[in-house]
Amino acid sequence: MTGVESLLRELAPQVLAALVRRYGDFDACEDAVQEALLAASQQWPAEGIPDHPKGWLITTASRRRIEQWRSETARRRREEAVAQNEPPGREPVSGVDDTLTLLLLCCHPALPRPSQVALTLRAVGGLTTAEIARAFLVPEATIGQRISRAKQKLKGERLAGDQRPERLAAVLQVLYLIFTEGHTASSGATLSRVDLTTEAIRLARQLHTELPDDGEVAGLLALMLLTEARRPARADATGALVPLAEQDRTRWNRAFIDEGVALITKALATTPVGPYQLQAAIAAVHDEAATSEDTDWAEILTLYDLLQVVAPGPMVTLNRVVAFAQVNGPEKGLAELGEAAKHLARHHRVDAIRAHLLENAGDLAGAREAYLAAARRTLSLPEQAYLQSRAKKLEK
């Protein structure tokens, strides 16, 4: 990616947010911004980047939007008034919180979660419809329809200040979902999708820059960094999955770990505790252990106990079982798993955890059957191959 392309990708959501905040028509504003970006991509390499590139883009996109209005006879008077008040060559609105504004708009509560994710990746992340479709393994037409319907629902929508707390929670969840799908792809031939994790971290960084005192924003960014830090060791040279306990920790990204630990340490000390902070704290305990044997499972169990109170859910309960078994033994862990499995009976992770605990408890035949059951239920080919290999090792 060239310097101009990188700059345009960074500025695109800010310019779109500025136009949407001023004109209130998401679809028309996006078209105008795309024309401005195209003009910049053609002019800037030859003529040089202007002194105020964001202002240049906003002014150019605003002119395109006004031209659209001028083609609509019923709105001629209003558009001409706007055109007369347009300060040429200057940025028409403040750049403060532009990315956050656009994120909040994309995560409008009227939109279903899949549409929020798709629109966020398209409008804020700059991914094409085809790229989003490939990432989530759905037809491009499906993603296109989601984005189109979402933009229609947002037509004329403006962001009111009193909507921010509700919308911010949705923004965090959308970014978390994007990162989670990238970290462990729910289906397909690849274990992870670096484009999605990279984009989620980039957007979380921008959000943290705009809301530096929000503990949950810091917690989510820390969680992403601490989790992504382990990615280089999650697969071997053939692409096969390597479980956490067997990973070469020298391959972990130390810069990400240091940054994530610093973020979560400050957030826990200065802001109310939330679920993303607790998850980040758990990830930090894993990342700071020099070896798998050095992991402080008692601390992790305590953190999961807190997480169960703050944000209870079946996956939290399931993850807590793993920590509980590490502290209290596989037999007691299996008893806990039996209760947790009632809410996730058909999820492959239930069978995978059961297999691991049975293996540790010495029931190799039972473990083998559970590994095979987990392999049948997962849609991820790398996970499937790993689970089958574990079962094969336990054959008599």
Q: pLDDT tens digits for 241-287?
A: 999 999 999 999 999 999 999 999 999 999 999 999 999 999 999 99
In this predicted structure, what is the pLDDT of residue 91?
42
In this predicted structure, what is the pLDDT of residue 358?
96
Secondary structure string (H, E, C) spanning the chain: CCHHHHHHHHHHHHHHHHHHHHHCCHHHHHHHHHHHHHHHHHHHHHHCCCCCHHHHHHHHHHHHHHHHHHCCHHHHHHHHHHHHHCCCCCCCCCCCCHHHHHHHHHCCCCCCHHHHHHHHHHHHCCCCHHHHHHHHCCCHHHHHHHHHHHHHHCCCCCCCHHHHHHHHHHHHHHHHHHHHHHHCCCEECCCCCHHHHHHHHHHHHHHHHHCCCCHHHHHHHHHHHHHHCCHHHCECCCCCECCHHHCCHHHCCHHHHHHHHHHHHHHHHHCCCCHHHHHHHHHHHHHHCCCHHHCCHHHHHHHHHHHHHHCCCHHHHHHHHHHHHHHHCHHHHHHHHHHHHHHCCCCHHHHHHHHHHHHHHCCHHHHHHHHHHHHHHCEEHHHHHHHHHHHHHCCC
Tokens of 185: 């792809």
In this predicted structure, what is the pLDDT of residue 339?
78
Structure confidence by residue, pLDDT tens digits, 294-347: 999 999 999 999 999 999 988 899 999 999 999 999 999 999 998 777 777 678
In this predicted structure, what is the pLDDT of residue 224?
98
In this predicted structure, what is the pLDDT of residue 70?
64
- Can you tell me the distance from the alpha carbon of 53 to that of 156, in angstroms, rounded to the nearest whole number? 27
Cα-trace Rg, the chain: 24
**This model's pTM is above 0.85:** no
In this predicted structure, what is the pLDDT of residue 10?
82
Q: Is the dihedral of CA 283, 312, 176, 215 positive or negative?
A: negative
Query: What burial class does residue 110 get, using C-beta atoms within 10 Å of its C-beta: 0-12 exposed, 13-18 middle, 19+ buried?
Result: exposed
Contacts of 55 (CB under 8 A, 6+ apart): 89, 90, 91
Q: What is the pLDDT along the chain (396 residues), one digit of tens a residue?
A: 578 888 888 888 888 888 887 777 788 888 889 899 999 999 999 888 998 999 999 999 988 887 776 665 444 555 455 555 544 444 444 444 467 778 888 888 889 988 998 998 888 877 788 878 877 778 899 999 999 999 888 877 765 555 566 788 889 988 998 898 888 877 777 788 888 899 899 889 989 998 999 999 999 999 999 999 999 999 998 888 999 999 999 999 999 999 999 999 999 999 999 999 999 999 999 999 999 999 999 999 999 999 999 999 888 999 999 999 999 999 999 999 987 777 776 788 999 999 999 999 999 999 999 999 999 998 888 999 999 999 999 986
